[in-house]
């Protein structure tokens, strides 16, 4: 079976390949609005955005008259002190985020939705990550690498920022952006086998 991946993330593509899923990438010319709503809880935010990306993928299938395979979408955000921490919008914003994460534990929430014409099912993975204290020079050097700019929380655990991580509790692949255990279980309910 095949599916459509409604994501630009190279990490999600790599993870789907890792578990042997055949897919085509669906890219919309329009981005889903990822602006948090006033007072929105992080878990609610992730579910809303993930489901919106799946719905957008289904609409693209109809518009483009594509074969009706299921659509997989995902979204990842960080939570610190109950606040949603998304992708940095500038190097100085990335620096501010990394200072905030230094020496602390934060939560990484990754939502996954699989949708077809009949239903849209959702699952979330919540992991905890503790950073060791980070020196100012380490943060600046990491930002100069360019790695933090397209990642929730301004870091990628699978890259250079792996040096910052003292402890994780939860799903390593979920922290990367696609929790494989939860994704596999969700795909089984749509007829995929592993």
For residue 60, the number of C-alpha atoms closer than 13 Å in the C-beta half-sphere is 24
> How far, in Å, CA of 72 to CA of 184, rounded?
11
Q: What is the pLDDT of residue 29?
A: 83
Domains and CATH numbers, the chain: 2-188 (3.90.950.10)
Q: Helix/strand/coil (H, E, C) string of the chain?
A: CEEEECCCCHHHHHHHHHCCCEEEECCCCCCCCCCCCCCCCHHHHHHHHHHHHHHHHHHHHHHHCCCCCCEEEEEEEEEECCEEECCCCCHHHHHHHHHHHCCCEEEEEEEEEEECCCCEEEEEEEEEEEECCCCHHHHHHHHHCCHHHHCHHHCCCCCHHHHHEEEEECCHHHHHCCCHHHHHHHHHCCCCCC
Q: What is the pLDDT of residue 28?
A: 85
What is the Cα Rg of the chain in Å? 17
pTM above 0.85, yes or no: yes
Opening angle at CA 138, ends 133 and 142, nearest 5: 120
Q: What is the pLDDT of residue 178?
A: 97
pLDDT tens digit at each of 194 positions of the chain: 899 999 989 999 999 999 999 999 998 888 899 999 999 999 999 999 999 999 999 999 999 999 999 999 999 999 999 999 989 999 999 999 999 999 999 999 999 999 999 999 999 999 999 999 999 999 999 999 999 998 999 999 999 999 999 999 999 999 999 999 999 999 999 999 98
Give catalytic residue positions: 75
> How far, in Å, CA of 50 to CA of 59, rounded?
14
């Amino acid at each position: 079976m095949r599916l459509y991946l409604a994501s630009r993330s190279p990490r999600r593509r790599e993870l789907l390949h890792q578990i042997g899923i055949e897919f085509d990438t669906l890219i919309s010319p329009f981005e889903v609005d990822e602006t948090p709503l006033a007072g929105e809880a992080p878990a609610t935010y992730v579910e809303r955005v993930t489901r919106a990306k799946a719905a957008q993928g289904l609409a693209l299938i109809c518009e483009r008259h594509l074969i009706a395979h299921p659509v997989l979408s995902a979204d990842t955000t960080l939570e610190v002190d109950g606040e949603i921490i998304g992708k940095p919008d500038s190097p100085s914003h990335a620096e501010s985020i990394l200072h905030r994460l230094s020496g602390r534990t934060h939560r990484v929430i990754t939502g996954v939705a699989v949708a077809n014409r009949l239903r849209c099912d959702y699952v979330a993975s919540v992991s905890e990550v503790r950073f060791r204290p980070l020196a100012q020079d380490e943060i600046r050097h990491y930002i100069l690498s360019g790695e933090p700019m397209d990642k929730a929380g301004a870091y990628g655990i699978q890259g250079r920022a792996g040096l910052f991580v003292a402890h994780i509790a939860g799903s390593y692949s979920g922290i990367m952006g696609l929790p494989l255990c939860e994704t596999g279980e969700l795909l089984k309910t749509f007829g995929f086998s592993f």
